[in-house]
Amino acid sequence: MDTILFLAQTEEDGTLGKPALEALGAAVELNQALSGTLVAALYGAKVQPAADAIANCGASRFLAVAGEDFASARYATDAAACEALLRAAQATLVITAATSRSSRVMAGVTHRVGGCVDTHVSAIAADSGSVTLTRWFYRQRIEASLTRTQRPWVLLLDPGAHAAWQGQGASGPITPELITVPVTESMKRTAVRGTITPPADQQTIRPDAKLLFVAGAGWTKKQKDGQTHVPEAEALIVDFLHKSKASLGSSKSLVELTGENQSALRFMSHLNQVGQTGATPRHPKGLSTCCHGEEPHTVGWRFIGERRAINLDPNCGWARGKADVLYVADAFEVMSKVNALLGS
């Protein structure tokens, strides 16, 4: 019988983030399909709030590594905590969220326990007792289903790929089994001095937004009057993002113009880039503006549900099967009308 380990780091306040709850949702489902044993393991400065919140998930054991030494992301202590939890659980299958923190350590941890690891997992299924995972290769162009016999098998589930676990917390507190992990001075050489994040209203990447708004290089090009209109473009886009709370994506051309210090949109960075060499966001809807819709860009739209584009060119890439709806129109005019409608 399989032992399925749900493994997660806790947030600063001791709770679990959405990606962790999604991984728990997948672990609970897999456990039911395999009629296995579910074990939940947590690590971080505080673990009790998370343990209480997931007490009814069906886990037969709750394990934890807790303390200030495990508060922030650091390879040596995170890897030691995860290794200790994996060994204590004796799991055959391990499911954890593919956060930047866990992605950094899980390959090393898996090697230490003699297992095998798969990253960027988008689905996990169990048909007649055999576990199959699904993941994408070659920048989301090829989808593969694979299975392995080696155990423990560690699966890093991509955020946004599974519904979050939504069970109720326990009526009373539960006590996780605390695992002691010795931390030497040499394991603490790396220290997180602080985090720098933009103010909330300047945060343009919003993974949970219903809409992805993509801006392309056309916003900075000469328009029908023979002039560029970058300040107007900036104002229109910022106004739209403010009103719609959409997430902002970009084409490679536009972020590179910004990097070269040409007249471009000041709030754009490489982090906004969508595509083959950029991000592959997941949003129910997407609206592309002033972007040509070439294959290396649109490959990043793989997981966008409904795709629309605004382009002056009726022969642009969006017209060739890349979008559900193409508005052959001037994006400056369309977006100022949209903003006016949103404002009214």
Ligand X SMILES: Cc1cc2nc3c(=O)[nH]c(=O)nc-3n(C[C@H](O)[C@H](O)[C@H](O)COP(=O)(O)OP(=O)(O)OC[C@H]3O[C@@H](n4cnc5c(N)ncnc54)[C@H](O)[C@@H]3O)c2cc1C
* Interface with ligand X (CB under 6 A): 216-218, 221, 223, 251-254, 273-278, 290-292, 294, 296-297, 300, 310-313, 316, 330-332
Between 16 and 291, whose beta carbon lies closer to ligand X? 291
Residue 191 one-letter amino acid: A
DSSP 8-state symbol, 180: P
- Closest-CA residue to 29 (of 127, 153, 144, 146): 127
Between 157 and 211, whose beta carbon lies closer to ligand X? 211
Between 62 and 318, whose beta carbon lies closer to ligand X? 318
User: What is the smallest separation between the CB atom of 311 and ligand X, expressed in angstroms?
Assistant: 4
DSSP 31-100: HHHHT-EEEEEEEES--HHHHHHTTTS--SEEEEEESGGGSS--HHHHHHHHHHHHHHHT-SEEEEE--H
Between 92 and 273, whose beta carbon lies closer to ligand X? 273
User: What is the smallest separation between the CB atom of 118 and ligand X, expressed in angstroms?
Assistant: 24
Between 38 and 233, whose beta carbon lies closer to ligand X? 233
What are the structure tokens assigned to 297, written together?
């860009």
Between 110 and 220, whose beta carbon lies closer to ligand X? 220
User: What is the smallest separation between the CB atom of 175 and ligand X, expressed in angstroms?
Assistant: 48
Residues, the chain, total?
A: 344
What are the structure tokens assigned to 206, written together?
């919003």
What are the structure tokens assigned to 86, written together?
């994996």
CA quadruple 226, 230, 236, 238: dihedral, nearest 10: 170
Residue 341 one-letter amino acid: L
8 A C-beta contact, residue 249 and residue 274: yes
User: What is the smallest separation between the CB atom of 89 and ligand X, expressed in angstroms?
Assistant: 39
Between 119 and 223, whose beta carbon lies closer to ligand X? 223
Rounded distance between C-alpha atoms, residue 130 and residue 109, angstroms: 24
Rounded distance between C-alpha atoms, residue 278 and residue 44, angstroms: 31
Contacts of 49 (CB under 8 A, 6+ apart): 10, 13, 14, 15
User: What is the smallest separation between the CB atom of 225 and ligand X, expressed in angstroms?
Assistant: 11
Bridge partners of 125, per DSSP, are 132
Residue 154 has φ and ψ, to the nearest 5°, of -100, 125
Between 206 and 221, whose beta carbon lies closer to ligand X? 221
Q: What is the 3-state secondary structure (H, E, C) of 107-136?
A: HHHHHHCCCEEEEEEEEEEEECCEEEEEEE
User: What is the smallest separation between the CB atom of 100 and ligand X, expressed in angstroms?
Assistant: 19
User: What is the smallest separation between the CB atom of 318 and ligand X, expressed in angstroms?
Assistant: 9
Between 61 and 327, whose beta carbon lies closer to ligand X? 327
User: What is the smallest separation between the CB atom of 258 and ligand X, expressed in angstroms?
Assistant: 12
How many other CB atoms sit within 10 Å of the CB of residue 200? 7
Rounded distance between C-alpha atoms, residue 43 and residue 156, angstroms: 16
User: What is the smallest separation between the CB atom of 218 and ligand X, expressed in angstroms?
Assistant: 2
Rounded distance between C-alpha atoms, residue 322 and residue 302, angstroms: 10
